[in-house]
Amino acid sequence: MLAEILFSPYASLHIDSLEVLPDRVSLTIHSFQEVRCPDCTQPAYRIHSHYTRKFADMPWVGLAVRIFFCARRFFCAQPTCQRRTFTEQLPSLIAPFAQRTQRLAAAQRTLGFALGGEAGARAAKEIGMGTSPDTLLRLVRNAPEPEQSTPRVLGVDDWALKKGQTYATILIDVEQSRPIDLLPDRTPEALTKWLTAHPGVEIITRDRASAYAEAATAGAPQAVQVADRFHLLLNLRETIERFFDRHQADLRKVKLVKTLLAEPLAPKPKEKPALLAMTELYQAREKRRLARFDEVRGLKQQGLSRAAIAGQLQMSVNTVKRYLRADEFPIRMLSPCAISKADRFSSYLRQRWQAGCRSPRQLWSEIRTQGFDGSESSVRRWVARLQLEMPFALDSQAVTSPRAVDTRVLSSRQASWILLKHWEELKEPEQDWWEEIKTVCSPIETVRELSQQFVKMVKKKIPADLAGWAGSAKASGLIDFRNFALGLQRDFAAVNAALTLPWSNAATEGHVHRLKMIKRQMYGRANFDLLRKRVLLS
């Protein structure tokens, strides 16, 4: 009865002995099944010899299971058969020459897919399926790939094998939201080859990359290409950022007023405040950036290309472009600290800190009774910030003002986000900033109007306004918006489809995030074939 339960469908197996040891369970079994020659399929009855196969099985109540199978070797009774002897096999239970049952291999393979090699081996040991990390990875690599049908809606996106250096491509079935293949690069030739080998794709969702547009046109000319709406809005924000890069002088004339924490308390005698040290580091970094900015401008005047400048100075090409586009050096402001829930209780926390209570947990417990609904970690961060920016002696009698006001220049990126918001979404300091920037930067109202129109058109999916908006952008006299409009016109069919069809690249982006999680789980050291198996079969 026990053999039927443990080794179904092999009712012909019999358990000879069962031994329970402190660390494992040992079983000795034999078979009395009818055996046929694997070549001529004739029944065999003459036994040549016996030998013992040892293999592992699924654990019992956390104990590893070791099986000793007394395998028989037979003579083939068919005189014309070329095979003289053969060994009986249990193919559904264990593969030839294997050292683990099929079900144990499947369970360990699942651990390998879910956790990888090292973590999977640790988990397997804890539940009685101990094996090595290399064995788990070998099981993953040897896993058969499922047959993939050609998807009707194909999602395409790139991901970094090595960030900033090498990139690959992920392909997903958008309708079923599952990955179907990974390509080792993001060249047009690789995607074109895949599309040619898998005819029948009707819709291709992609970002605005020209390489994928070219490949989709060459490999699946009948497919409708759909540009991703998120990337359209992202391209708009980048266009606004480039506009502000050209108007750094105007941007510096207006400062965003932001309410900060209370003023720092008096520092310890003969001790440099941490905030002052941070400011000195910031100033030193800005001096280095300014020197690099001047170097870029100087090399450009000597006639060097952007790529040549980037190579000579060991910089990113995008940074070189931004420096050459700016009318002045784009400074970076020292970012103020964010507002915390614990700030409402800052007076009490400071008093308790000066009184000698330095335990964040104790401080959190005390302000909870006063109505604080935040977490203990938020109080820990508040205390850490206090230690960093406001060091003071225990006997300090310094008095702090309730709040301090900081004025800072916005970066091009920060300013671009303000222009994308509706007026109702702007906070009071942002509204004040907008009212002042209008007085010093004359094209800013045109930029905001074009931006708001494009956001409305994309979010509400109004394709009829696309051609008119592109014409207005080209006629605005703003070089960045003119270039953006020209790019939309070159990709007009895909952009128009994005405003007409329900498909987007959102599912593909989600699988890219999942792929990154798996890649980081393997510390970025996985070969492409192993990563591909884990992504496709997990």
* pTM reported for the whole predicted model: 0.73
The model's confidence at residue 395, banded by pLDDT at 50, 70 and 90, is very low
Higher-confidence residue of 394 and 487: namely 487
Taking alpha carbons only, the member of 495, 487, 462, 508 closest to residue 225 is 495
Mean pLDDT of 31-55: 91
What is the percent of the chain where pLDDT is above 90? 59
CATH of 153-228+504-528, one of 1.10.10.10, 3.30.420.10, 3.30.930.10, 3.60.40.10: 3.30.420.10
Q: Are 189 and 169 a contacting pair, CB within 8 Å?
A: no
Is pLDDT of 274 > 60? no
Residues 6+ apart with CB under 8 A from 152: 175, 200, 201, 202, 203
Token representation of residue 451: 């931006």
Higher per-residue pLDDT: 270 or 385: 385
Q: Cβ distance 451 to 419 under 8 Å?
A: yes
Band the pLDDT of 332: cuts 50, 70, 90: confident
Residue 477 Ramachandran class (φ > 0 left, ψ -120 to 50 alpha, else beta): left
- Write down the pLDDT at residue 344: 82
- Mean pLDDT across the stretch 270-294? 72
Taking residues 8-14, report their average pLDDT: 72
Res 381: pLDDT: 81
For strands 63-75 and 47-60, give the pairing: antiparallel
- The yes-or-no verdict on residue 400 having pLDDT over 50 is no
Across 167-187, average pLDDT? 94
Judge whether residue 162 has pLDDT over 90: no
Is the pLDDT at 495 greater than 50, yes or no?
yes
Domain range list for the chain: 2-141, 153-228+504-528, 230-255+409-498, 258-406
What is the per-residue DSSP string for 50-61?
EEEEEEEEEEET
pLDDT of residue 91: 85
| Mean pLDDT to the nearest integer, 250-278 | 57
Q: What is the spatial distance between Cα 199 and Cα 53, in angstroms, rounded to a whole number?
A: 48
Residue that has been written with the tokens 């006997």 in this structure: 395
Asked if residues 349 and 382 have their Cβ atoms less than 8 Å apart, the reply is: yes
Q: Two tokens at 241?
A: 């950022």
Pick the closest to residue 264 from 409, 406, 363 (CA basis): 406
pLDDT digits (tens, 9 = 90+) for 74-86: 999 888 899 999 9
Q: What is the pLDDT of residues 336-367, one digit of tens each?
A: 555 677 878 888 988 888 888 888 899 999 99
Is residue 55 within 8 A of residue 100, CB to CB? The reply is yes
